[in-house]
Amino acid sequence: MAARRSRIRGVGSHVPERVVTNEELTQWMDTSDEWIRQRSGIETRHWVDGATSTSDLALEASHRALRAAGIEAGDLDMIVLGTLSPDHDFPGTACYLQAKLGVPGIAAIDVRQQCTGFLYALSIADQFIRSGHSQRILVVGAEVHSKSMDISTEGRDISVLFGDGAGAVILEGCDLRDPATDPHILSTHLHADGNFAEALCMKAPQTAVEGPRITHEMIDAKEHYPQMNGKLVFLHASKRMPESVHEACEANEIEVGEVDLFLFHQANLRINQQVAKQLGVDDSKVFNTVQRFGNTTAATIPLGMHEAIKAGVLKPGMLVMLSAFGSGFTWGSALLRY
Ligand code: COA
């Protein structure tokens, strides 16, 4: 009997129109185009205007993924959405997206695993399909960072790195006949180490205090903005991402060199160059978008996937490795035949 697997049937993405250059950031903080490019490779990022929310960006990306898949929202049986910048604390942003797509009734799950959010979401969706529970799942990563960053000099180490955007894939069940050629997700590998939770986090609102979750004092102390130990994050990302790529290769008994394309999380060009070097992979096999979009957290991988398709770099039949690292710390990988 053919094994039940999931495959990517359609991919879509969306970034807001407004482009913010490194130069523009200098009006709010003491920074420079040279510093940002040298440290991160980032040249521009996109920011939303007005009341645009995370689920608004997710909606546009989802419509595009549905169109690419040639199906309607009514054909979906689940939504799994990764974000660290939800529309509201609760309910989950997947619920808002579900309502905007006009498909009440289907399951809607939020995943809170930051930069590894899309990989966690993809893995969850893959398990639901493998088990026979679901047939068509919308998997989304979406973020609006521009509304929750300190864009003064005090917050410059973080705020220059992040951008807004969304990416979505339609994951569909299939009966695997030839594992060597049929498009499908081969495996996913997820990890976390909560001992490093405070190396990259946003403290407020919080319940780990006496009294209300958010106070004027917390806001004065800027605890409602993210804080990061950049060097520690860099160090761990450069170690964990290659590790997770090797894990996926070993699980599928392939060599790293057999992978056609690497779609890494887009935090920093220097991290990805370091990871490629450690893996012995030529930079030409790594598709980077961080230069244009900055770090869009849970959105980077599906956004990069869509850009790679549009650029003609990601083609049917390719063996593709996804890998990410982020706050938590969380990290992981996925190997798929596109
Ligand atoms: N513009 C100008 N100067 C800045 C700056 C900015 N945007 N941000 C920080 N600086 C300053 C620092 O204040 C520091 O000044 P000092 O030496 O006078 O104290 C100096 O630049 C060097 O800072 P440092 O932290 O040593 O730089 P770095 O080489 O470690 O690069 C990061 C900083 C944040 C770019 C880097 O650590 C990084 O990319 N880390 C990973 C972050 C990440 O990817 N996070 C998301 C993970 S999912």
Q: Which CATH number fits the domain that encloses residue 223?
A: 3.40.47.10
**Is the same domain home to 146 and 211?**
no
| Closest protein CA for atom 12 of ligand 1 | 157
Cα distance between the two ends of the chain: 22
Token readout for 213 is 């979750």
Chain segment 249-300, per-residue pLDDT in tens = 999 999 999 999 999 999 999 999 999 999 999 999 999 999 999 999 999 9
**Strands, E assignment, 224-314:** 227-228, 261-264
**Can 252 be counted among the known catalytic residues?**
no
How far apart (Å, rounded) are the C-alpha atoms in residues 195 and 293? 30
How far apart (Å, rounded) are the C-alpha atoms in residues 290 and 262? 14
Q: Is the CB of 216 under 6 A from ligand 1?
A: no
**Is the same domain home to 117 and 219?**
no
Q: Please name every residue paired with 320 in a beta bridge, in sequence order, or none if there are none.
A: 261, 336
**Is the same domain home to 250 and 145?**
no
Q: Is the CB of 260 under 6 A from ligand 1?
A: no
The range of the structural domain enclosing residue 204 comes to 184-337
| Closest protein CA for atom 1 of ligand 1 | 31
Residue where a domain terminates, one of 152, 176, 200: 176
Task: Note whether 184 and 97 are within 8 A (CB).
Answer: no
Q: What would you report as the CA-atom Rg of the chain, rounded to the nearest whole angstrom?
A: 19
Of 246, 264, 271, give the one whose Cα is nearest residue 256.
246
Domain count of the chain? 2
Q: What is the pLDDT of residue 2?
A: 86
Residue where a domain terminates, one of 158, 176, 194: 176
**Is the same domain home to 157 and 279?**
no
Quickly list H helices, the chain. Answer: 22-25, 33-40, 54-69, 93-101, 117-130, 156-159, 216-220, 230-251, 269-279, 290-293, 300-310
> Please, which pLDDT band fits residue 307 given cuts at 50, 70 and 90?
very high
Of 333, 321, 303, give the one whose Cα is nearest residue 241.
333
Q: Is the CB of 205 under 6 A from ligand 1?
A: no
Tell me which of 36, 39, 83, 232 to substitute to probe ligand 1's pocket, judged by most ligand atoms within 8 Å of the beta carbon. Answer: 39
**Is the same domain home to 73 and 120?**
yes
**Is the same domain home to 190 and 225?**
yes
Chain segment 111-124, per-residue pLDDT in tens = 999 999 999 999 99
Other CB atoms within a 10 A radius of the CB of residue 304 amount to 29
* C-alpha 244, offset from chain centre: 16
**Can 145 be counted among the known catalytic residues?**
no
How far apart (Å, rounded) are the C-alpha atoms in residues 95 and 44? 31
Q: What is the pLDDT of residue 1?
A: 74
**Is the same domain home to 140 and 239?**
no
Average pLDDT, the chain: 97
The catalytic residue among 46, 265, 272, 306 is 265
Residue where a domain terminates, one of 156, 176, 196: 176
**Is the same domain home to 239 and 317?**
yes
Q: Is the CB of 13 under 6 A from ligand 1?
A: no
Cα 329 to ligand 1 centroid, rounded to whole Å: 19
How far apart (Å, rounded) are the C-alpha atoms in residues 188 and 199? 25
**Is the same domain home to 166 and 55?**
yes
Q: Answer yes or no: is pLDDT of 93 > 80.
A: yes
Task: Note whether 41 and 268 are within 8 A (CB).
Answer: yes
Q: Is the CB of 275 under 6 A from ligand 1?
A: no
Other CB atoms within a 10 A radius of the CB of residue 85 amount to 24
Buried b / exposed e along 169-179 (16+ C-beta atoms within 10 A): bbbbbbebeee
Q: What is the pLDDT of residue 129?
A: 98
**Is the same domain home to 196 and 307?**
yes
Q: Is the CB of 160 under 6 A from ligand 1?
A: yes
**Is the same domain home to 40 and 168?**
yes
**Is the same domain home to 151 and 245?**
no
Chain segment 215-258, per-residue pLDDT in tens = 999 999 999 999 999 999 999 999 999 999 999 999 999 999 99
**Can 272 be counted among the known catalytic residues?**
no
